[in-house]
Amino acid sequence: MLEDKNPQRTSLSELGEFGLINHITKHIKNQHKCTVRGVGDDAAVLAPSKMQTLITTDLLVEGIHFDLSYMPLKHLGYKSVMVNLSDVYAMNGETKQITVSIAVSNRFSLEAIEELYAGIQLACETYKVDLIGGDTTSSTKGILISVTAIGKAEKDTVVFRDGAKETDLIVVTGDLGAAYLGLQVLEREKQVFQVNPNNQPDLNDYTYLIERQLKPEARRDIPKLLKELKVTPSAMIDISDGLSSELMHICSQSKVGCKIYEDKIPLDPQVISACEEFDLDSTMVALSGGEDYELLFTISIDDYNKMKANPHFTVIGHITEERQGMKLITKANQELELKAQGWNALKE
């Protein structure tokens, strides 16, 4: 396993819980004035604010959400933070603090946990976020990571999922499907390695796909960009479980229908070529793949001119009356029912 390649191996039992906490947090420095007290006390202390507070949390479990045979621990730490930051940006807010709790089995050494926290610390430094607390405990099997993100947003600019209105335009950031295909490449190479451990994979043709899977970036830039453009979305959500699932969340909570157009869905050239290689339909990959951590939102048609030439945004459809349902218009101009086939955390 990746965490065992370090020749130096210090058992976590040598430090104990408090020794481990002190060791992995000794270099953490707070960056925000609103963080009065972070790691080191029974609870963190945050200064009051006139802005609204956004709180979100995610739990990542080994064997369910990640596979350490190809997920480096530093990347895992980084990604575990991104998953949460993305939810705050999907509310049109800015993340200020996070807490991190982990449960680890005795198969992990201190050096392995240092790698995990190196990724967490890199994410905090890159995204200007304070790590203000958490917990550590033992696990009978594998590793579990729970991250809670705390953000802020002006009361008038917080965006929910239930504000989409008829004739609103449907917009996505970036491109879709790459993270899912990165996972397919990694799973294929894992199977090849199990058959022949001496095989060295050539992944140069899949660099973008693998990076989108192992080290995704949350769209911190989008709330700032929307503010500069003077555009406030009517509804917004991050694309973690697949475009179709997320759009259906917006439609069901806003009590509206939608039409999206297959030829408008943004795809990277590596996604198109990898879909041909794996014999997958690129539209289905974009609709159902998940883990893209792009943002999906709706805007008033009156705001179209403010963002039509911006390379970060693609208009893929529009909102309709609820009775018209949720539809995908294919390249052949066929109207298909949109289905949620993305990630289901409770699926057996």
CATH of the domain at 134: 3.30.1330.10
Tally of structural domains, the chain: 2
Residue 268 has pLDDT above 90, yes or no: yes
Whether residues 251 and 216 share a domain: the answer is: yes
58, amino acid identity: D
Residue 226 has pLDDT above 90, yes or no: yes
Give me the domain span that covers residue 140.
Answer: 11-153
Cα gap 337→257, rounded to integer Å: 11
Name every residue whose Cβ is closer than 8 Å to that of residue 190 and which is 6 or more positions away in sequence. Answer: 67, 69, 70
Is 23 a member of any domain? Answer: yes
Whether residues 175 and 275 share a domain: the answer is: yes
Whether residues 51 and 194 share a domain: the answer is: no
Whether residues 52 and 146 share a domain: the answer is: yes
What value does the mean pLDDT take over residues 259-269?
98
Residue 345 has pLDDT above 60, yes or no: no
Is 87 a member of any domain? Answer: yes
**What is the pLDDT, as a whole number, of residue 9?**
73
CB 339, CB 284: distance < 8 Å: no
Residue 32 has pLDDT above 80, yes or no: no
pLDDT in tens, 167-209: 999 999 999 999 999 999 999 999 988 888 877 777 889 999 9
**What is the pLDDT, as a whole number, of residue 195?**
85
**What is the pLDDT, as a whole number, of residue 26?**
59
From residue 122, alpha-carbon distances to 112, 116, 119, 282, 283 in Å are 16, 10, 5, 33, 34
Whether residues 148 and 215 share a domain: the answer is: no
pLDDT in tens, 97-135: 999 999 999 899 999 999 999 999 999 999 999 999 888
Is 123 a member of any domain? Answer: yes
Is 104 a member of any domain? Answer: yes
> Which band of pLDDT confidence, cut at 50, 70 and 90, is reported for residue 13?
low
Whether residues 97 and 180 share a domain: the answer is: no
Q: Which of 15-24, 140-149, 238-247, 292-301 has the lowest mean pLDDT?
A: 15-24
Q: How far apart are the first and last CA of the chain?
A: 26
Select from 125, 153, 181 the last residue of a domain.
Answer: 153
Is 161 a member of any domain? Answer: no
Whether residues 300 and 203 share a domain: the answer is: yes
Is 21 a member of any domain? Answer: yes
Return the CATH number at 313.
3.90.650.10
**What is the pLDDT, as a whole number, of residue 18?**
54
Whether residues 44 and 142 share a domain: the answer is: yes
**What is the pLDDT, as a whole number, of residue 25?**
58
Whether residues 251 and 148 share a domain: the answer is: no
Is 142 a member of any domain? Answer: yes
Is 160 a member of any domain? Answer: no
**What is the pLDDT, as a whole number, of residue 197?**
81
Whether residues 109 and 211 share a domain: the answer is: no
Whether residues 175 and 320 share a domain: the answer is: yes
Select from 105, 125, 153 the last residue of a domain.
Answer: 153
**What is the pLDDT, as a whole number, of residue 186?**
95
Select from 153, 186, 206 the last residue of a domain.
Answer: 153
0.85 surpassed by pTM: yes
pLDDT above 70: percentage of residues in the chain: 88
Whether residues 144 and 176 share a domain: the answer is: no
Rg (CA), the chain: 21
Residue 342 has pLDDT above 70, yes or no: no
Residue 343 has pLDDT above 60, yes or no: no
